[in-house]
Amino acid sequence: MESEAVLRTKQSNVFRLKCSVQNYDWGIRGPDSAVARLFALNSGSIVDSDKPYAEFWMGTHDSGPSFLIGAAENGGAVESDSTSLKSWVSENPNSLGEKVVEKWGSDLPFLFKVLSVAKALSIQAHPDKELAKILHKLQPKAYRDANHKPEMALAITEFEALCGFISLEELKDVLRSVPETVEMIGHEDTNRVLLLDDEDEEEDLKSVLRSAFTQLMSATKSMISGTISDLKRRLHSESEVRQLTAKELLVLRLEKQYPDDVGVIAAFFLNYVKLNPGEALYLGANEPHAYISGECIECMATSDNVVRAGLTPKFRDVQTLCAMLTYKLGFPEILQGVPVNPYITKYIPPFDEFEVDCCVLPEGASVLFPASPGPSICLVARGEGMMLPLESLESDVISEGDVLFVAAKTEISITSEVELLIFRTGVNSRFFDAFMNGK
């Protein structure tokens, strides 16, 4: 059921949020999309069956702001749907905690999302802070802020992605078994890669890989089109006598979505990652990746900077992408999460800005989200229950689609009426530990 109750706390430290949606073309259409369902419940809107629903944004970024509903001031309820969360935290920095304000100023350092992916996103990377400042200054329309964008995807359904470069041994196998890749990068770069050894200096490995990948991504449209035609013809012929590999089948899927796109060939160079629900993948700055399909919780630093170079009709910045990448080789780390108690699993990436909790609360059970020195946002993804901020004398109904902003130093107790699934993001607890240790 949808609750109309207004949150009331003595110290104005828990608010409902009305959040934003992004209808990018790659989103899942209509009610099949978790983004669509959550946005409809959150905003009271009706789902358009023909429309793609790609991202549900919870936070303070200007491209998809959240607004306060039923903010309480001085113990009284005030309807304030027009008050943005960004403006409110700017005027109430105590809600962020002094350590967060000292590090990031009067704004949330994280952006919380739900993604529903029907079609592959672009092959992309996110700039580090230094590069983000330069790109924002030079091309503010393409790069809308000056922040970096480390991120983490926590699978809700089975989730597919391309992430990071394959190992050197795998790369050599690709060049030996996929003749179209040799055609794209040329025999000189191919031979340089084949002569590499794991014992070679790291910078030498990166230099050779950078040269080969840049050659690939810079190919002419006619070369790309002709090479992909050759690839399709060969794979369809070989499929009659052998089982195609998972990567080959993926490449054929990508070609149907993005015909004559260089990203189809580039996929051979990247790790093919399949996440089960409850597994998470994190991405640092300057790492190539592309989400392919499925639904996930995503959290990142507060930024919308994306450098694209393949699998997209949008603006491509091939030169910047190829120059910025780390060219680190090998399969990415998959986070399984750490159990905090019987109901909460915590996912802690190596970034100060955020961590994510997943809480599965059985019917009739109760759980305590302890106070954090920083702010957090909670999403009710399924179910219904009662929430009690411990500073308050009144409980409140929470249900699917509710999004709550929780100020720093606020404990929340939740009891489920029907099994609840809650995702919470907040500032990384390791940041506060390091802060306390004077690092």
Say if strands 334-335 and 307-310 run parallel, antiparallel, or are unpaired: unpaired
Enter the DSSP assignment of 122.
P
Rounded Cα distance between 314 and 142, Å, is 10
Please identify every residue annotated as catalytic: 308
Chain centre distance of CA 183: 34
Q: 236 labelled as ligand-binding?
A: no
CA dihedral 398, 403, 409, 412 (to 10 degrees): 20
The two structure tokens encoding residue 366: 């109760």
Residue 388, H or E segment: strand 376-389
Three-state secondary-structure class, residue 269: helix
Q: 11 labelled as ligand-binding?
A: no
Rounded Cα distance between 272 and 243, Å, is 18
What is the CB-side half-sphere exposure of residue 201 using CA atoms within 13 A? 3
Q: 151 labelled as ligand-binding?
A: yes
Degrees (nearest 5) of the Cα angle 165, 151, 69? 160
Rounded Cα distance between 49 and 30, Å, is 4
CA dihedral 274, 307, 348, 295 (to 10 degrees): -40
Which residue intervals of 195-326 are DSSP H helices?
Answer: 202-217, 221-238, 246-257, 262-266, 318-324
Q: 126 labelled as ligand-binding?
A: yes
The two structure tokens encoding residue 175: 């060049």
The two structure tokens encoding residue 90: 């700017």
Binding-site positions for Zn(2+): 124, 126, 151, 289
Binding-site positions: 124, 126, 151, 289
